[in-house]
A and B are shown apart, each in its own frame.
Chain A
Amino acid sequence: MPRLRSRTRRPSLAAFLLPGGLLAVATLSSLAVFFPGASASGQTAPSHVSSTGNLAKQCGVVNLKGVTSVYGTGNPFHSPNLNCSGGHIISYGDSAIDYANPPASYISAGALLFAQTCSSCHGSRANGIGPNGAATIGPNLQGVGAATVDFWVATGRMPATDIKAVEAERKATRLTPQQALELAAYVNSLDPAVPAVPTPNLKGADLAAGADLFSLNCAACHTITGAGDALAFGTNAPSLQNRQVTPQQVAEAMRIGPANMPRFTGNLTDVQVRDVVAYVTEKIQHPASPGGAGLGGVGPVAEGFVALLLGVGGLALICFWIGERS
């Protein structure tokens, strides 16, 4: 990824924060107590797991090593100090979203794929260090979590083709979804972290709650109709009306915060994330236009053009027909 152009001394700050933040997360994660999962090995701290539809209060933290398919549980974030009383904390472990890392069998295929496709920019060990010990163009990927890798590859943003671009854009990818998971499995195996790959269960989603959350959290960048727009310094918020955006990708983006998008972590429950995903994939991607042609959903500027050109212009043409021209 190219260095971001900016005006103040920020280049050093951004360059510090991103890998620094990821390293901090990785460090904290490695201090974590194991999260009790379905697998029998490695269970230490007792914890309360509920696989029913009700929200369960999770005390304890993520099992980072050897987490495979953990159905019905899924604290995607390390939180060493969850306060379980009084319902204060965002709860996980309900059936709204399943978090699962790709199977271990994918790791070797992923290693091969990584060496072919990604190592030139991210280093052979995905740590952002090149063969000479110099920093590579791509950042350190160790400790970003499987969901991050899956998102960037499955949406086609990676492998990047234009290294000078401010932000990698979604594009058609030659890598299949399976290959994305293989890469995710490999990168995650180097330094396991959260979040795991989410699969939202859209049945029973509350569209109204999703709409409300969307207008509070997402509309500020993606616009209220999800059309996307240009942001600061050449960055942009992509269009969510694009039907190639899958529910999984929306959930991943919300939890990982790719590129300049903020992360939505402890302030949104899995139910809330699932509701937003449902709203995006149902209503944003299939806008009903009961009033007629949607005019691109751009807003009053397009409406003004239509009113002036078609409305006033058409009527002026009728005037031209009715009256004289001298």
Chain B
Amino acid sequence: MSDTEHEPSRTRVPMPIATLNDPHLGDAAKNPGRVEGIIAVVFVLGIIMMAAFGAAYWQNWNPWILGGTLGAGLFLLGFGLTAWGKYLMPQGPFVEERHVLAGSTAERNALSAALVERSTVVVKRRRLLGGLFAAGSGIFGIVAIFPLLRSLGPVPGTSFEKTDWRRGIRLVDSNGRPIHKDTLRAGNIVTVFPEGHQDDIQGQSMDQTVLIRVSYEAFTTIKGRETWAPEGYVAYSKMCTHLGCPVGLYEQQLQLLVCPCHQSMFDVTNGAVPQFGPAPRPLPQLPLGINSDGYLVAQSDYHEAVGPGFWERTTT
């Protein structure tokens, strides 16, 4: 309800003419002359600094000179103006009455009445039109979203689940060089891609894989993967299963792949099972093979979707 106890009038109460020696109009400073002098010096320095900025820009001097002169000039001019306002301008204190924003009960009723009565008159008399307009607005609201949302991008489809790795495709590094089995020593890590895909966007993001030579004999990471790590080479998806950062940090003695973003740690010899940190799943392992020329190849695509979790992701 509106506040009826205090209704100040909207017309201002005229005050007498104030004389210059009214303390409300006076200087707040104890020594106005000295303050004025200080502010004058500040202004002069500010002008000099601003001019210096102009010169620095013209002469293309270093960024710190440009910024230093600009900043000093702005600060001095601003400080002078503020000090003038604080010490040498009327501080008051002055008082202003707050006008009650709310109207009277009668005014509120008048507004509500206009809304309710007029709309009732219209809608109750023309019910069909009211209903149709509501339906029209509704359908407009819905289809207006279509161009805003749907045209923005493609539906995900299988793009989150498939990579470009295929049976027999060679592993290449970021320059397109294939990896021969005899070129790496144990403890070596290389970022690899399917041959021909190292330069395309999808390749760089989804297909990225780390190849690590753990030893010189084939080993098994997990039961059922006996052929996946020939001659000590093992390959895992480089996309962290937490948030997709490249897991490029390999600790050779601990045999850990550590994700640099949030420090998830994956056990390299054990199927990249996360030992610590927020990653929920092991890094998918790429089944490796060695072709007749001695180059490392993939046996197939990854057996599960790479990267972070999403609704449609099924676990194998």
Name A's B-contacting residues (CB within 8 A). 4, 6-8, 10, 13-14, 17-18, 20-21, 24-25, 28, 77, 79-83, 88-90, 216-217, 219-221, 231-233, 235, 257, 259-267, 290-292, 318, 322
0 or 1 for each of B172-197: is its CB under 8 Å from A? (1 = yes):
01100111101111111111000000
Q: Which residue of the partner chain A has the closest CB to B275?
A: A7
0 or 1 for each of B97-111: is its CB under 8 Å from A? (1 = yes):
000000000000000
**Could you tell me which residues of chain B, from 145 to 173, have a CB within 8 Å of some CB in chain A?**
173
8 further A-B contacts with Cβ under 8 Å, apart from A88-B178, A260-B254, are: A10-B269, A79-B182, A232-B276, A260-B253, A262-B252, A290-B63, A292-B64, A322-B86
A18 to B215 Cα, complex, angstroms: 10
* A232→B265 contact, CB < 8 A: yes
- Closest 5 A/B residue pairs (Cβ): A266-B183, A220-B248, A260-B251, A263-B187, A220-B249
How many residues of B sit at the interface, in one of the four size bands? 35 or more
* B294→A83 contact, CB < 8 A: yes
B71 smallest CB distance to A (angstroms):
11
**Could you tell me which residues of chain B, from 86 to 103, have a CB within 8 Å of some CB in chain A?**
86
Given contacts A24-B186, A82-B182, contact A232 B263 (CB under 8 A): yes
Partner of A262, one of B62, B174, B188: B188
A89 to B178 Cα, complex, angstroms: 9
A25 to B215 Cα, complex, angstroms: 10
* A88→B177 contact, CB < 8 A: yes
A3 smallest CB distance to B (angstroms):
11
Residues of chain B lying within 8 A (CB to CB) of residue A292: 63-64, 67
Q: Which residue of the partner chain A has the closest CB to B260?
A: A220
Q: Which residue of the partner chain A has the closest CB to B277?
A: A232
Name B's A-contacting residues (CB within 8 A). 62-64, 67, 82, 86, 173-174, 177-180, 182-191, 212, 214-216, 246, 248-256, 258, 260, 263, 265, 267, 269-270, 275-276, 293-294
* A216→B186 contact, CB < 8 A: no
* A265→B188 contact, CB < 8 A: yes
* A14→B255 contact, CB < 8 A: yes
Could you tell me the dominant secondary structure of chain A's interface residues?
A: loop
Q: Which residue of the partner chain B has the closest CB to A233?
A: B254
**30 intermolecular pairs with C-beta atoms under 8 Å apart:** A8-B267, A17-B186, A17-B253, A21-B186, A21-B215, A21-B216, A25-B186, A77-B185, A83-B293, A88-B178, A89-B180, A217-B248, A219-B248, A232-B265, A257-B187, A257-B188, A257-B252, A259-B252, A259-B253, A260-B251, A263-B187, A264-B188, A266-B183, A267-B179, A290-B62, A290-B63, A292-B63, A292-B64, A318-B82, A322-B86
* B254→A79 contact, CB < 8 A: no
Residues of chain A lying within 8 A (CB to CB) of residue B246: 220
Residues of chain B lying within 8 A (CB to CB) of residue A291: 63
Interface centre among A77, A220, A261 (most CB of B within 10 A): A220
Given contacts A81-B294, A231-B258, contact A262 B250 (CB under 8 A): yes
* B183→A232 contact, CB < 8 A: no
A209 smallest CB distance to B (angstroms):
10
A220 to B174 Cα, complex, angstroms: 16
* A322→B82 contact, CB < 8 A: yes
Partner of A4, one of B64, B180, B184, B254: B254
* B215→A24 contact, CB < 8 A: yes
Residues of chain B lying within 8 A (CB to CB) of residue A77: 185
Partner of A266, one of B185, B212, B256, B269: B185
* A89→B183 contact, CB < 8 A: yes
Given contacts A220-B248, A220-B249, A292-B64, contact A10 B183 (CB under 8 A): no
Q: Which residue of the partner chain A has the closest CB to B293?
A: A83
* A232→B254 contact, CB < 8 A: yes
* B185→A263 contact, CB < 8 A: yes
A4 to B188 Cα, complex, angstroms: 20
Residues of chain A lying within 8 A (CB to CB) of residue B251: 231-232, 235, 260
Residues of chain B lying within 8 A (CB to CB) of residue A4: 253-254
A251 to B268 Cα, complex, angstroms: 26
Residues of chain B lying within 8 A (CB to CB) of residue A25: 185-186
* A231→B249 contact, CB < 8 A: yes
* A79→B191 contact, CB < 8 A: no
A199 smallest CB distance to B (angstroms):
21
A13 to B177 Cα, complex, angstroms: 32
* A10→B252 contact, CB < 8 A: no
Residues of chain B lying within 8 A (CB to CB) of residue A217: 248
Q: Which residue of the partner chain B has the closest CB to A90?
A: B183
